[in-house]
């Protein structure tokens, strides 16, 4: 049996579903093919943040602003609260060196239009009374927001269906061929065939494997993140939290940051957010272990020790679950978005690393706009997959 | 008035039979899929009470044999753990088995 569509989206994580949604809204008949079940990839094992504070001025920050606006309109379009919340966020600063670097970074972000500031210890403790005494200051931005990735994905799927989008799960793509007509023919594990003139590769961490099927070079690698989920608890302070340490190592490769064993070997840093289910999501690690998405005792223990270092009073709280996801990471920290030169009709929308939830709506909308050949947006040149074509 | 459909299948997260059937009708036909789209089994007991019931509802509604639908593995940790317990290393690999 062969199924024909206008566009085949390969990968039904939050990015593939967003692409499918915005394409079908533009009148394209879109099929989304996924090898797993609902949210089996990174989009089902991650935090939930639309985070501004971690971003350097540039395209990612700019797109996060646009994505937040799109999320606000999706709340109405989808007639669902999507677990959207705007609690604001604080980045915790532990020493003078971090303070200086964060002050400089915050100044850059402010000049770019982000509403963020450094606050002193007293202010900080007002917002977060349970923080450990060793933290000397923090940043604060009321912009940082969040959504429930599961609700967003289901929303894209439900509303997409009204525009004719179809999702085929447990249907892993194993081969792509170009037919005489110029259309692509895609074969899946269980022998189904699908045809369309356009393919969107939204394979997340696995996007490189899909690229190989058409000879495209896509240098996306998996960066594992482990997180734990607590039981339901009353609010712990007003905001979500991160530690500055990891950010500082990313911002300033020239300074020596004092890292402990877990921070060095597992890329551990604090991410602490209140979920729409009134639990807390606490992470996380950044590990290069290939495509292994298991949780480890060492990882869970490291996350808990770290949490208690920043929030010692949480010792009596239960954690009920641990999970791990593979962030699709790129060499320059930017996604791949656009058509591949020399492979007409083959587009990639992948490589969002730790920002795929935040950037999902804007990615889908821009991808649909590229596929529909709207006016060229030159800002997107730096996201073109062709920057890696010659590697 | 409440009827059967308003009955909570997952008491931790307060997910009703109606919501579960709706998810199945939308094509979510594994316990894991239903759990992720409805939050059933995501609460404190981590589905230890409702996973089997959900499997039965899926089997009934899709006409598949129950054995095919029953979840094969449980996620670690299998029961809630105090953060303190882990910090003190009372927590060991045996719990993962
Ligand atoms: C611990 C952790 C915390 C995070 N926190 C945040 C956060 O707070 N905010 C944020 O914005 N982002 C966060 N992220 C990042 C975010 O999860 C990812 O960027 C995002 O989920 C990527 O979405 P995706 O759709 O590209 O990938 P995925 O969700 O991985 O989807 C890819 C899909 O492709 C499918 N696939 C693969 N190969 C094939 C094939 N051959 N055929 C068919 N289908 C295939 C897979 O089954 C999968 O469903 C976090 C990630 C982790 C791991």
- CATH (domain of A306): 3.30.9.10
A164/A313 same-domain check: no
> Does residue A355 form part of some domain?
yes
CA distance A219 to A387: 10
Q: First and final CA of chain A: distance in angstroms? A: 38
Query: Of the candidates A353, A355, A378, A357, which has an alpha carbon nearest to the alpha carbon of residue A366?
Result: A378
> Does residue A49 form part of some domain?
no
CA distance A132 to A109: 27
A241/A321 same-domain check: yes
Among A279, A300, A329, the domain boundary falls at A329
Q: B39 exposed, middle or buried (CB, 10 Å; 0-12, 13-18, 19+)? A: buried
Domains of chain B with bracketed CATH: 4-92 (1.10.10.1100)
> Does residue A50 form part of some domain?
no
> Does residue A71 form part of some domain?
no
A284/A357 same-domain check: no
* DSSP state for residue A169 in the 8-state scheme: -
The residue written with tokens 């230890």 in the block is B48
A345/A357 same-domain check: yes
> Does residue A159 form part of some domain?
yes
Helix A356-371 vs helix A59-77: angle between axes, to the nearest 10 degrees?
Answer: 90
Could you tell me the distance, in angstroms and rounded to a whole number, from the CA of residue A114 to the centre of ligand 1? 27
Pairs across A and B, CB distance < 8 A: 79
CB A22 within 8 A of CB A70: no
Interface contact flag, B37 A38, Cβ < 8 Å = yes
Q: Assign residue B77 a region (left: φ > 0; alpha: ψ between -120 and 50; beta: otherwise).
A: beta
* A184, A357, A358, A362, best to mutate for ligand 1 pocket (most atoms within 8 Å of CB): A357
CB B12 within 8 A of CB B43: yes
Query: Of the candidates A180, A174, A209, A210, which has an alpha carbon nearest to the alpha carbon of residue A192?
Result: A174
Could you tell me the distance, in angstroms and rounded to a whole number, from the CA of residue B1 to the centre of ligand 1? 42
A124/A196 same-domain check: no
Which two three-digit tokens encode residue B89? Answer: 């290393």
> Does residue A54 form part of some domain?
no
CB A332 within 8 A of CB B96: no
> Does residue A379 form part of some domain?
yes
Which two three-digit tokens encode residue A310? Answer: 């920043």
A296/A237 same-domain check: yes
Kindly list the residues of chain A whose beta carbon comes within 8 Å of any beta carbon in chain B. Answer: 37-39, 44, 150, 154, 157-158, 167, 169, 231-232, 277, 295, 297, 300-301, 304-305, 307-308, 314-323
pLDDT tens, chain A, 391 aa long: 569 999 999 999 999 999 999 999 999 999 999 999 999 999 999 999 999 999 989 999 999 999 999 999 999 999 999 999 999 999 999 999 999 999 999 999 999 999 999 999 999 999 999 999 999 999 999 999 999 999 999 999 999 999 999 999 999 999 999 999 999 999 999 899 999 999 999 999 999 999 999 999 999 999 999 999 999 999 999 999 999 998 998 888 888 888 999 999 999 999 999 998 899 999 999 999 999 999 999 999 999 999 999 999 999 999 999 999 999 999 999 999 999 999 999 999 999 999 999 999 999 999 999 999 999 899 999 999 999 987 5
Instruction: State chain B's maximal CA–CA distance in angstroms.
Output: 51
CB of A268 closer than 6 angstroms to any ligand 1 atom: no
The tally of domains found in chain A comes to 2
Residue nearest to atom 26 of ligand 1 (CA): A204
A235/A318 same-domain check: yes
Among A314, A329, A344, the domain boundary falls at A329
CA distance A325 to A59: 25
Which two three-digit tokens encode residue A358? Answer: 């935040």
Residue nearest to atom 21 of ligand 1 (CA): A43
A187/A212 same-domain check: yes
CA distance A305 to A283: 11
Indicate whether B93 pLDDT > 60.
no
CA distance A69 to A117: 22
Which two three-digit tokens encode residue A275? Answer: 């979920």
The pLDDT of residue B92 is: 52
CA distance A367 to A202: 11
> The domain spanning residue A347 has which CATH number?
3.50.50.60
Among A311, A329, A347, the domain boundary falls at A329
This prediction has a pTM of 0.95
The pLDDT of residue A391 is: 55
Indicate whether B95 pLDDT > 50.
no
> Does residue A69 form part of some domain?
no
Interface contact flag, A301 B91, Cβ < 8 Å = yes
Return the half-sphere exposure (C-beta side, CA atoms, 13 A cut-off) of residue A378: 0
Could you tell me the distance, in angstroms and rounded to a whole number, from the CA of residue A206 to the centre of ligand 1? 9
Find the residue in A nearest to B25 (Cα): A158
Which two three-digit tokens encode residue A38? Answer: 């609902």
A24/A114 same-domain check: no
Could you tell me the distance, in angstroms and rounded to a whole number, from the CA of residue A121 to the centre of ligand 1? 36
CA distance B91 to A301: 9
CB A43 within 8 A of CB A386: no
CB of A204 closer than 6 angstroms to any ligand 1 atom: yes
Strand partners, A200: A9, A347
Residue B79's pLDDT band (cuts 50, 70, 90): confident
| Distance from chain centroid for Cα A10 | 17
A338/A384 same-domain check: yes
A157/A253 same-domain check: no
A173/A186 same-domain check: yes
Which two three-digit tokens encode residue A184? Answer: 């692509």
For A275-298, letters b (16+ CB in 10 Å) and e give bbbebbbbbbbbbeeeeebebbbe
Indicate whether B48 pLDDT > 90.
no
Range of the domain at A28: 2-44+150-219+332-388
């Amino acid at each position: 049996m062969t199924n024909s569509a206008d566009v085949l989206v390969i990968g039904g994580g939050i990015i593939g579903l967003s692409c499918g949604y915005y394409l079908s809204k533009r009148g394209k008949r879109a099929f989304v093919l996924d090898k797993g079940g609902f949210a089996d990839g990174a989009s089902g094992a991650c935090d939930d943040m639309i985070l501004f504070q971690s971003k350097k001025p540039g395209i990612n920050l700019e797109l996060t602003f646009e994505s937040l606006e799109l999320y606000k309109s999706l709340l109405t379009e989808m007639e669902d609260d999507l677990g959207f919340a705007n609690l604001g966020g604080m980045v915790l600063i532990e020493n003078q060196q971090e303070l200086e670097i964060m002050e400089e970074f915050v100044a850059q972000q402010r000049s770019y239009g982000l509403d963020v500031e450094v606050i002193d210890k007293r202010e900080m403790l007002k917002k977060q009374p349970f923080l450990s005494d060793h933290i000397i200051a923090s940043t604060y931005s009321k912009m940082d927001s969040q959504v429930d990735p599961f609700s967003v994905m289901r929303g894209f799927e439900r509303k997409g269906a009204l525009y004719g989008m179809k999702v085929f799960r447990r249907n892993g793509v194993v081969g792509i061929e170009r037919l005489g007509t110029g259309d692509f023919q895609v074969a899946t594990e269980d022998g189904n065939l699908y045809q369309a003139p356009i393919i969107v590769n939204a394979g997340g961490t696995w996007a490189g494997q899909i690229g190989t099927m058409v000879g495209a070079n896509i240098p996306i690698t998996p960066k594992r993140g482990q997180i734990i989920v607590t039981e339901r608890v009353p609010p712990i302070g007003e905001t979500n939290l991160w530690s500055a340490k990891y950010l500082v190592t990313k911002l300033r490769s020239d300074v020596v940051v004092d890292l402990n064993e877990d921070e060095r070997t597992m890329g551990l840093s604090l991410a602490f957010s209140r979920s729409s289910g009134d639990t807390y999501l606490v992470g996380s690690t950044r590990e290069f272990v290939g495509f292994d998405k298991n949780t480890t005792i060492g990882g869970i223990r490291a996350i808990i020790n770290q949490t208690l270092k920043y929030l010692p009073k949480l010792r009596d709280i239960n954690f009920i679950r641990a999970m791990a996801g593979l962030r699709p990471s790129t060499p320059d920290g930017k996604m791949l978005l656009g058509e591949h030169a020399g492979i007409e009709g083959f587009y990639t929308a992948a490589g969002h690393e730790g920002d795929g939830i935040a950037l999902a709506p804007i990615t889908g909308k821009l991808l649909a706009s590229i596929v529909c050949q709207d006016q060229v947006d030159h800002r997107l040149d730096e996201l073109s997959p062709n920057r890696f074509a010659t590697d | 008035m409440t009827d059967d459909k308003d009955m909570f299948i997952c008491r931790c997260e307060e997910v009703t039979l109606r919501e579960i059937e709706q998810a199945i009708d939308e094509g979510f036909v594994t316990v894991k899929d239903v759990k992720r789209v409805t939050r059933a089994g995501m609460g404190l007991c981590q589905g230890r009470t409702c996973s089997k019931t959900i499997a039965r509802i899926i089997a009934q509604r899709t006409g598949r044999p129950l054995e095919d639908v029953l979840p094969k593995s449980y996620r670690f940790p299998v029961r809630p753990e105090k953060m303190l317990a882990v910090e003190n290393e009372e927590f060991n690999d045996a719990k993962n088995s």
